[in-house]
Amino acid sequence: MLCGISYMWTNGLAIMPELPEVETIRRELHSQILRRRLNNVTVLDPRLVQASQPKAFETRLMGALITNVARRGKYLMINVESDVLILHLMMSGRLHLRARTDIRPHTRLLLTLDDDQALHFVDVRRFGRAWITEEAHSHEVVGHLGPEPLDAGFDWRSLAIRLRGRHVAIKTALLDQRTVAGIGNIYADEALFAARIHPETPVNLLSPPKLRALTASIVTVLESGIAHQGTTFSTFETSEGSPGNNQGHLKVFRKTGQPCPSCGKNIRRIVLAQRSTHYCSNCQRKPRTVSTK
DNA sequence: AATGCTACCTGCGCGC
DNA sequence: TGCGCGCAGGTAGCAT
Ligand SMILES: [Zn+2]
């Protein structure tokens, strides 16, 4: 299914990995590489491991047994015996399990397994990053993250705590990973639509009932995304090659000019926090105290 | 402390 | 047909 979206890579892939996409990849990887051994590790682009020397990075992982594949927000965590390999795909990072010799353009990292297969980290835009740490929870890149929205303990109070003392637009706050981990541009717009909250609403003006609604909507849209194996705008492959199809379930994201599925009014697009933002001006009203530009 | 803005990077669509 | 511009995205880092 196409959504009038026309940009994709030459290999036909166009996803923006947020929590549901990373979780989909995590589940596939878990079934594919758990208890496999890393026979070889090759850093093809030093930029990927900026924080460390490529050689040291490689040797630290070489020969290690993969004991778990986990996720924190949008970060993928491949546990080996005594270390954790943390990966962030950013926008264009992809993981493919395929023949170790089948190296395609833009491959940045090769994790060769104990057969002819390798996990290929392919990243056209080179924004993706990789780290190795002994203790993932306190690591610099995940230590500051907000609560996991799909954990049992996530409720409107934990959201309220993270918004305390702040005055930014709610969409800006949702894109800030310290507020809630894993929300990106797609699911921020979808969650705000589902909760009937205008994206420019200052967070200090959100009542507890609105925060409750938003909390529930965040959980709903993320779970829906996972249930549909993530959002893609073209011939998306997960690492196994099966397509995600959550794009067919989005209500407002990149639906500018199309009728709101709730009221029929045209979906609007604005730029907020330097990001495309889509909403229904009828279903998502600005509080009166916010002046219209 | 909180917030805003830019750099980073590349392929593709669009307009001329 | 060819070229160049602008867009898309998440995060770190810097400025205010
Ligand atoms: Zn509407």
Instruction: Look at residue A11 and tell me whether its pLDDT is greater than 70.
Output: no
Among candidate residues A111, A138, A165, the one where a domain is terminated: A138
User: Per the structure, how many domains does chain A have?
Assistant: 2
Would you say residue A255 lies in a domain?
yes
- Min mean pLDDT across A7-11, A43-47, A215-219, A263-267 is at A7-11
Would you say residue A30 lies in a domain?
yes
Would you say residue A215 lies in a domain?
yes
User: Which of the four pLDDT bands, split at 50, 70 and 90, describes residue A12?
Assistant: very low
- ipTM score assigned to the predicted complex: 0.91
Does one domain contain both A178 and A122?
A: no
Q: Are A120 and A107 in contact (CB under 8 A)?
A: yes
Does one domain contain both A105 and A9?
A: yes
Residue labelled with tokens 């490689």: A58
What is the tens place of the pLDDT at every residue in A161-212? 999 999 999 999 999 999 999 999 999 999 999 999 999 999 999 999 999 9
A125 catalytic residue (yes or no) = no
Among candidate residues A138, A169, A186, the one where a domain is terminated: A138
> What is the phi/psi pair of residue A125, to 5°?
-90, -5
Q: Residue type at A43? A: V
Instruction: Look at residue A83 and tell me whether its pLDDT is greater than 90.
Output: yes
- Centroid of chain to Cα A47: 21
Catalytic residue of the set A74, A100, A129, A254: A74
Domain CATH for A253 = 1.10.8.50
Does one domain contain both A130 and A11?
A: yes
pTM: 0.91
Does one domain contain both A103 and A206?
A: no
Does one domain contain both A82 and A188?
A: no
CA distance A33 to A7: 31
Would you say residue A145 lies in a domain?
no
Would you say residue A175 lies in a domain?
yes
Instruction: Look at residue A93 and tell me whether its pLDDT is greater than 70.
Output: yes
Instruction: Look at residue A51 and tell me whether its pLDDT is greater than 90.
Output: no
Q: Are A84 and A133 in contact (CB under 8 A)?
A: yes
Q: At CA A146, angle to CA A35 and CA A61, rounded to 5?
A: 30
Which bases of chain C are contacted by protein, using any atom under 7 A from a CB?
7-12
Tell which wins on pLDDT, A241 or A121. A121
Q: Please report, rounded to whole angstroms, the spatial distance between the CA atom of protein residue A3 and the C1' atom of nucleotide C1.
A: 29
* Cα(A283) to centroid(ligand 1), Å: 4
Domain CATH for A43 = 3.20.190.10
Mean pLDDT of A109-114: 96
What pLDDT score was predicted for residue A245?
81
Instruction: Look at residue A291 and tell me whether its pLDDT is greater than 50.
Output: no
Does one domain contain both A119 and A163?
A: no
User: Which of the four pLDDT bands, split at 50, 70 and 90, describes residue A138?
Assistant: confident
User: Which of the four pLDDT bands, split at 50, 70 and 90, describes residue A1?
Assistant: very low
Would you say residue A285 lies in a domain?
no
Instruction: Look at residue A42 and tell me whether its pLDDT is greater than 60.
Output: yes
Does one domain contain both A71 and A161?
A: no
Q: Which of A247, A252, A240, A180 is nearest to A216 (CA)?
A: A180
Distances (CA, A) of A3 to A141, A225, A253, A270: 34, 16, 10, 19
**Other Cβ atoms closer than 10 A to A88:** 19
Q: Residue with CA nearest B14 C1'?
A: A6
A275 catalytic residue (yes or no) = yes
At A192 the three-state DSSP class reads helix
pLDDT mean across residues, chain A: 89
Q: Which of A68, A98, A100, A99 is nearest to A86 (CA)?
A: A68
Does one domain contain both A206 and A170?
A: yes
Instruction: Look at residue A4 and tell me whether its pLDDT is greater than 50.
Output: no
Tell which wins on pLDDT, A138 or A277. A277
Q: Please report, rounded to whole angstroms, the spatial distance between the CA atom of protein residue A47 and the C1' atom of nucleotide C12.
A: 15
Does one domain contain both A161 and A267?
A: yes
Long-range contacts of A163-169 (CB under 8 A, 24+ apart): A163/A203, A163/A204, A163/A206, A163/A211, A166/A203, A166/A204, A167/A202, A167/A203, A167/A204, A168/A202, A168/A203, A169/A199, A169/A200, A169/A201, A169/A202, A169/A203, A169/A272, A169/A273
What is the tens place of the pLDDT at every residue in A142-153? 999 999 999 999
Q: What's the longest Cα–Cα distance across chain A?
A: 63
Would you say residue A148 lies in a domain?
no
Does one domain contain both A134 and A186?
A: no
What is the spatial order of strands in the sheet that A93-99 belongs to?
A: A40-43, A107-112, A117-123, A93-99
Would you say residue A293 lies in a domain?
no
What pLDDT score was predicted for residue A228?
92
A72 catalytic residue (yes or no) = no
* Domain encompassing residue A28: 2-138
Does one domain contain both A263 and A219?
A: yes
Q: Please report, rounded to whole angstroms, the spatial distance between the CA atom of protein residue A143 and the C1' atom of nucleotide B16.
A: 50
CA distance A195 to A197: 6
Does one domain contain both A172 and A118?
A: no
